Structure formats: structure tokens, C-alpha cells
Amino acid sequence: MQMIQTSIPDVLLFEPKVFGDERGWFFESFRQDIFEQYAGCHRFVQDNEAFSRYGVLRGLHYQKPPYTQGKLVRVIQGSVLDVAVDVRKGSPTFGQYTAQLLSDQNHRIMWVPRGFAHGYAVLSETAIFSYKCDNYYAPSHDAGIRWNDPALGIDWRLPESDVSLSDKDQRQPMFHEIDPVVLTS
């Protein structure tokens, strides 16, 4: 498995070595030792999976302390644009984002550490999105940022007329309205 650095040093991409022949293919989608070599030691406590249709945009979501979450995300079927926005107070990349194409073709896996808002847009007809979390979902500490905040300037690679949002995501605050996340060791 190869690690690929993104434009934000703490957000990492992992590209597995795929072994294939006429029967199909095989790859390791997670390996603790390689993951820890680059991302440090994390204990995953919850796995989530979502099915979505073209144009569905989920995000940008994060959890406030003390329930911040790191997420290891991948696409099982289809293609998504996956986005991580740094919301860590005092971070040199605060307010910056990285956007990565994750698909069932490139098999890439993205590590989104604690202190990042996360979201994705489905670019294919359908997609199955899967992720591991290093902390449990805590609805009382749920937070988010408006997907189309001009201060962030994210190109979701979708026409705005094709974007499908939940009621919650339509009401998220703008970036300048959020309280930066203060991480504790």
C-alpha cells in the first residue's frame, strides 16, 4: 500500500496494490501497521456505510470536542469527490481544504483526522461509501459548514442544479460562523 500526501499534510491518501486477473481482483483495504506508520495509532470503534445517487452531497460535517472523530473513508461502488476542510484552531492550514476523487476504480482510501469537516458529492449514477470512525457518533456535538460557502470556494464538480442536500445540510452555518475546533491530546 502506497501513501500519497495531499495538499494538507495531516490528510492522507492510501492507494492499495491491486492484484487482478481474468477472475477478478484482490486488495488489502486496511492494514493497521501501514496505517499507523503514516497516521499514528488510532482505535476504530464504528463503521458506517451509505448508499447515494448521483448529485447527493453529504456534508460538510464534523463533531465538536470532546467527541471529535477521525474517519478512514473509501468508495466500494461508484465515484465521489471527497472533501476535508481544516477547522482546527491555530492550524497553519485552517480554512483550507483538500478534494480527492475516490472510486471503485482507483480504490483510494482517505484519512480525515480529527478537527476536519468532511463531505462528499456523488459523481457516478450511484455510490456506496464506507468509513471507519475513531469515535462514536454524538448527535449532541454534531456540527457542520455550508457546502457552498464562497469563503471556502470548493468546486464539487457538479452543477449546482444537480446537488441534492438533506434539510440539515441546507441549514449549516457559513465557515466564518463556526467556532474552530480545539483539539486536546
For the annotated catalytic residues, the residue numbers are 61, 131
Q: Where are the beta strands (DSSP E) in 113-172?
A: 116-122, 126-133, 142-144
Q: What SS3 state is found at 119? A: strand
* Cα(3)–Cα(32) distance, integer angstroms: 13
165 closest CA partner among 112, 105, 111, 122: 122
13 closest CA partner among 23, 22, 4: 4
Q: Does an H or E element contain 169, and which?
A: helix 167-170
